[in-house]
Structure 1
Amino acid sequence: MLSVCHLYPDLLNLYGDRGNVIAFLQRCRWRDIPVQLIELNAGESIDFNRVDFLFLGGGSDREQNLMAADLEKHKESLREAIEDGLVVLSICGGYQLLGQYYRTPRGEEIPGLGILDHYTVAGEKRLIGNVAIEMNLDGQSIKATGFENHGGQTYLGSVEPLGKVLAGYGNNGKDGTEGARYKNVFCSYLHGPLLPKNHQFTDYLIKLALQRRGIDKQLTPLDDSFEKSANNTMLNRLLK
């Protein structure tokens, strides 16, 4: 059975981010893959080594600061699980939290967890709108869509970007990158939520989670005609 952990679902759920967990669970269930959901709230403990897929969403600055203080207690166990192949999807504020620091408009540096090599600085304007990116999943190039709304601008160090911006702003509106990737950790600014809009990405994460559990199998094909049509409609609108 796959174990899915949703971190702080009561506080970090901007722009329908919970839909990422729903999509992951449902695409497993449609294939009769046993899956269970664990919702971890502040003050609770968990063994990340027993988790196959971890989701961390976005929230307001106040909520993110509260969660950062709580997650700091789990930092080393989370780092160990990530190095061991834990599959993670982290969106917006959760993405920033995994990095080195966030620099406020006043120049104050708020430490992140320091698990990934990126940092974020407050920009002069918010980066808002629909986004299209191109990313490589298992040797296959796919185009994904989503919606971004962030004031922070993120710059990558040694980690790879999740994808290349085709339309929209991405990490900072300057270098053409969107998100970050390290081992089986995938970070992005794309809300929407991301996974229901991009079924290929969802299935890739399921495949990685199964492999972490020692199961190497081909996923049963699903009827994704609706998802493909919706994705193509947005891509045509953004890339025309």
Structure 2
Amino acid sequence: MTHASVKPLTLTLGHLYPDQLNLYGDRGNIMTLQRRCQARGIELRVVGLGIGDALAPDEYDMLFIGGGQDKEQAPVAQDLYDLKGIGLWAAVEDDMPVLAVCGGFQLLAHYYRPAEGPDMRGLGVFDAWTLHKGKRVPRCIGDIALNWNGSTLVGFENHGGRTYLGTAKPLGKVLKGSGNNAEDHTEGAIYRNAYGTYLHGSLLPKNPHFADHLLSLALKRKYGGEYYRVLAEAPPASNGYSSATLPEKSGETSGESIMVTAVMEEEPLTPPSFQLAPLDDRLEWEAHAYILERLGLHHAAAATIRAHIQE
């Protein structure tokens, strides 16, 4: 059976409020997604959505919203609720992957009550709310590590607000650091494929497994069960990333590994499978392990080194 056509995978990411919400280098999350896509031959188009721009969910495959100071969040909160709320809710309910960091996380919960001024109304995607207990209360600041999906996530947190979860499931349990509120050891929140977190750092450069998780969700949602075939285990190219080519026929097994590629088949693949081609992430995992070691999580650091760095 021959392929009717072959075309590269493409994704479109909506970056909400890139000018207003970009504390602590959160734009690095976008850069990481772009680089990891490029290394696999996937085209990732990034579209900025500022104040006054509508959000049409059908035009995007992923969404990202970062963090900002309270004075910057107020006009964003109004715009998000009045103009983008319906589109964002539709995207979330349709299982579009969404990453919301710090202030973005707060605005996707029910409300944020700042130390001064009126409450900022959120969208309520996460059943959670945030209270700032005043400038005399120490901020939640410093390196942080949590367990996630049988592994760990690391980052840097710096927030005055304390977030409390209702029925929302946390992203993970805090191993070291403050997390949502420095009280209950929760960090972040999850609803469907939407993820809220306080982890800066930026988050994704030091957590390649989480970056790939988001990309996998986006690719499965767009191509899964329709016309894709995933072919992994591509050998490292000279730049340290994976590269390979697609054979002419689906039955060929030439020994060459193949990059993630969308393929229009004459017949549907049953059952579909999906796996991203691995990349050379040794530097990323070294940074990850360094944070764990600095936090005194020696066993977790050693496990990371054994699993991802040692050959």
* Aligned counterparts of 1:200 and 1:5: Cα–Cα separation in 2: 21
- 1:47/1:185 CA distance change after superposition, 3 Å: same
- Identify the residue that residue 169 of structure 1 maps to in structure 2: 178
Contact 1:49 1:86 in 2 (8 A): no
Q: Does 1:232 align with 2:289?
A: yes
C-alpha distance in 1, partners of 2:132/2:206?
28
Q: Which moved more, 1:212-221 or 1:101-110?
A: 101-110
Q: How far apart are residue 23 of structure 1 and its match?
A: 0.4
Over 3 Å counting, the alpha-carbon distance change for 1:107 and 1:18 in structure 2 is: closer
Q: Amino acid of the residue matched to residue 282 of structure 2?
A: S
Amino acid at match of 2:204: L
Total equivalences in the alignment: 236
Structure holding more strand per residue? 1
Structure 2 residues without counterparts, runs of 5 or longer: 1-9, 225-272, 299-311
Taking a change above 3 Å as real, the CA distance of residues 46 and 112 of structure 1, as seen in their structure-2 partners, is closer
Residue 135, structure 1, aligned to residue 148, structure 2: yes
Structure possessing the higher radius of gyration over alpha carbons: 2
User: Structure 1's 217 and 20: CA in aligned 2 closer, same or farther, altered over 3 A?
Assistant: same
Equivalent-residue separation in structure 2 for 1:131 and 1:176 (angstroms): 11
Deviation at 1:96, TM superposition (A): 0.3
Q: Paired residue for 1:112? A: 122
Q: 1:68 to 1:108 in 2, by over 3 A?
A: closer
The residue that corresponds to 1:103 in the other structure is 113
Unpaired stretches in structure 1, ≥5 consecutive residues = none
Q: In the TM superposition, what are the counterparts of 1:1-240 in structure 2 within 5 Å?
A: 1-72=10-81, 73-105=83-115, 108-123=118-133, 124-136=137-149, 141-215=150-224, 217-238=274-295, 239-240=297-298
Which TM-score applies when normalising by structure 2? Answer: 0.73
CA distance in structure 1 between the aligned counterparts of 2:44 and 2:114, rounded to whole angstroms? 40
Per-residue CA distance 1:72-110 (angstroms, 9 max, x = gap): 111112111100111100000000001111223369533
Letter in 2 for 1:133: L
Matching residue's letter, 1:49: D
Counterpart CA distance in 1 for 2:25 and 2:214 is 19
Q: How many Å separate the matches in 2 of 1:188 and 1:220? A: 26
Tell me the SS of whatever aligns to 1:172. Answer: coil
Q: Residue 192 of structure 1 aligns to which amino acid in structure 2?
A: G
C-alpha distance in 2, partners of 1:133/1:142? Answer: 9
RMSD: 1.4
> Which amino acid is 1:85 matched to?
D
Amino acid at match of 2:114: T
Identical positions, percent? 49
The amino acid of 2:289's aligned partner reads N
- Taking the aligned partners of 1:233 and 1:2, their CA distance within structure 2 comes to 32
Distance 1:111 1:46, change over 3 A: closer
Q: Which AA in structure 2 matches 1:125?
A: P
